[in-house]
Amino acid sequence: MNPVSLLFGLPLAPLRGLVRLAELIQEQAEMELRHPAAVRRRLEEVAEARAAGLISAEEEAEETERILREMIT
């Protein structure tokens, strides 16, 4: 590393670290949303809500479609 890049690069190191940390958090959150067990759990919650009469069949279908759409996008 030359002295000029060292002089200007070091003050930005915390910012680059913060950006990388935010990227890692976003990747982890996206991975958890698309994990098959998490998707299954969310689908089961919708089915339980329908069985308990908390939502209608139409709402269940819409929510199921939304969950599956999120998984593939």
Where is 11: in which H helix or E strand?
Answer: none
- Is residue 53 domain-shared with residue 28, that is, in the same domain? no
Residue 1 predicted with pLDDT over 80: no
The residue segments making up the domain with residue 20 are 1-33
| φ, ψ for residue 35, nearest 5 deg | -65, 135
Chain segment 18-40, per-residue pLDDT in tens: 999 999 999 998 888 888 898 99
- Is residue 39 domain-shared with residue 61, that is, in the same domain? yes
**Mean pLDDT value of segment 39-66:** 96
Output DSSP code: residue 52. Answer: T
* Amino acid identity, position 34: R
Where is 31: in which H helix or E strand?
Answer: helix 13-34
- Is residue 13 domain-shared with residue 43, that is, in the same domain? no
* Amino acid identity, position 16: R
